[in-house]
């Protein structure tokens, strides 16, 4: 599936907390978290401490019912839509700017003529090495690093980063819309934990809907960007805790404290490092992360959401892991892919679906 690239601004990929993020999600940047080159990271791993661990819980009882495959599709929202894609690239609209970025999964030819693709404001070129050799080219005029955007009623800053990301991963809109709906109809302030939270758009959406949010990310730069977004939307008074820490260490501590959350969003990178050099490998550490997340779900929990990018796996791998993790909890596990549908120049003309990531979500009913 698709790779998440790093998020701009990330130099360390996030340890269990998600500092680095994403492969673009091409293939978590601001922060998508910056992901270091694999060969260089491999050489360092032996000298770096892994996150603190504990044994997995022994689960009993029936596994939750399953809903598969589930395709969660977005046609865009607010100031974003996917205009066209093809030849390994995607043409997107972010507010006033038309942008071209690499997209490995766009194997087909573009639908729109070349002159449409030529009339763009920004084009990402180069690779996404840790030193940031990727560059933005501005065909019309030089643009500033940031510009205002709005999704689901939340104002935030788009950002041209050296890792091809723009400060938001719009395919996540489907999860954010679900979370917003749950918070608005709950009749009480839901407690939301956003792990690997990046630039905070999901946290702001949840808080604006009435939730009490804890946002965790290992990147100081990403946390800083999240606070900028909060200030831009004049949302400083909303109940959000901004935590710069390794995600695994944080949730293990919350488990010892007996803390509980009604919704947990987790969007870990394939590989990352925490602020103190903690090493994160998705296939090695994801089972424990989900196991701890289950322990800190409240008795009236609304959902546990996992998104996975840049992994060579079927959605069934995380689907079955989620079902085993939630054994005995009842409810259902729904898993599949997040996709964005092309919407044309007008934002309404439906075209092909572009796959972006795998997901698995446990819900109590």
* Residue at 3 is within a domain: no
Q: CA 292 to CA 53: how far, in whole Å?
A: 10
* Residue at 91 is within a domain: no
Report which of residues 45 and 323 the model is more confident about.
323
* Residue at 334 is within a domain: yes
What is the reported pTM?
0.85
Structure tokens at 316: 């069934």
* Residue at 123 is within a domain: no
Per the structure, the complete domain to which residue 252 belongs is given by 65-76+144-363
User: What is the SS3 assignment for 4-31?
Assistant: CCCCCCCCCCECCCCCCCCCCCCCCCCC
Structure tokens at 343: 């919407």
Contact present, 240 and 12 (Cβ < 8 Å): no
**Number of domains forming the structure of the chain:** 1
Q: CA 25 to CA 127: how far, in whole Å?
A: 13
CATH number for 324: 3.40.50.150
Predicted local distance difference test score (pLDDT) of residue 277: 79
Q: CA 286 to CA 255: how far, in whole Å?
A: 16
* Residue at 293 is within a domain: yes
Q: CA 315 to CA 307: how far, in whole Å?
A: 10
Place of tokens 């974003």: 80
Q: CA 244 to CA 15: how far, in whole Å?
A: 11
* Residue at 52 is within a domain: no
Q: CA 359 to CA 201: how far, in whole Å?
A: 19
Q: CA 227 to CA 222: how far, in whole Å?
A: 9
Q: CA 148 to CA 155: how far, in whole Å?
A: 7
- Angle at the Cα of 112 from the Cα atoms of 106 and 117, rounded to 5 degrees: 80
Contact present, 286 and 254 (Cβ < 8 Å): no
Report which of residues 134 and 259 the model is more confident about.
259
* Residue at 128 is within a domain: no
Q: Which of 270, 296, 256 is nearest to 15 (CA)?
A: 270
* Residue at 90 is within a domain: no
pLDDT in tens, 228-237: 999 999 999 9
Q: Which of 193, 187, 229, 225 is nearest to 209 (CA)?
A: 187
pLDDT in tens, 2-34: 344 444 344 444 444 443 444 444 434 333 333
pLDDT in tens, 103-147: 999 999 999 999 999 999 999 997 544 444 579 999 999 999 999
């Amino acid at each position: 599936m698709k790779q998440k690239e790093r998020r701009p601004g990330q130099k360390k990929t996030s340890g269990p907390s998600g500092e680095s993020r994403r492969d673009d999600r091409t293939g978590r940047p601001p922060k998508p978290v910056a992901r270091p080159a694999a060969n260089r990271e491999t050489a360092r791993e032996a000298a770096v401490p892994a996150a603190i661990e504990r044994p997995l819980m022994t689960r009993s009882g029936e596994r939750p019912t399953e809903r598969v495959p589930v395709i969660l599709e977005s046609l865009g929202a607010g100031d974003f839509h996917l205009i066209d894609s093809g030849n390994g690239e995607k043409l997107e609209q972010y507010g006033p700017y038309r942008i071209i970025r690499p997209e490995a999964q766009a194997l087909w030819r573009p639908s729109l003529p070349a002159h449409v693709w030529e009339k763009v404001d920004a084009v990402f070129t180069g690779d996404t090495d840790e030193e940031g050799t990727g560059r933005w080219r501005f065909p019309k005029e030089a643009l500033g690093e940031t510009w205002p955007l709005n999704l689901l009623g939340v104002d935030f800053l788009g950002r041209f980063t050296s890792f091809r990301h723009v400060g938001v991963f719009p395919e996540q809109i489907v999860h954010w819309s679900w979370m917003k709906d749950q918070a608005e109809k709950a009749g009480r302030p839901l407690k939301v934990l956003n792990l690997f939270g990046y630039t905070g758009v999901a946290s702001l959406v949840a808080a604006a809907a009435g939730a009490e949010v804890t946002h965790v990310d290992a990147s100081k730069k990403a946390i800083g960007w999240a606070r900028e977004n909060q200030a831009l939307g004049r949302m400083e008074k909303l109940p959000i805790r901004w935590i710069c820490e390794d995600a695994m260490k944080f949730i293990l501590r919350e488990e010892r404290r007996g803390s509980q959350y009604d919704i947990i969003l987790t969007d870990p990178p394939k590989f990352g490092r925490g602020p103190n050099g903690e090493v994160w490998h998705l296939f090695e550490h994801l089972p424990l992360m989900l196991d701890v997340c289950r322990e800190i779900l409240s008795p009236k929990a609304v959902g546990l959401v996992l998104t996975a990018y840049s992994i060579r796996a079927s959605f069934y791998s995380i689907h079955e892991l989620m079902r085993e993790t939630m054994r005995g909890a009842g409810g259902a596990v729904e898993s599949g892919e997040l996709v964005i549908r092309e919407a044309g120049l007008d934002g309404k003309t439906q075209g092909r679906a572009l796959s972006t990531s795998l997901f698995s979500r446990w819900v109590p009913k």
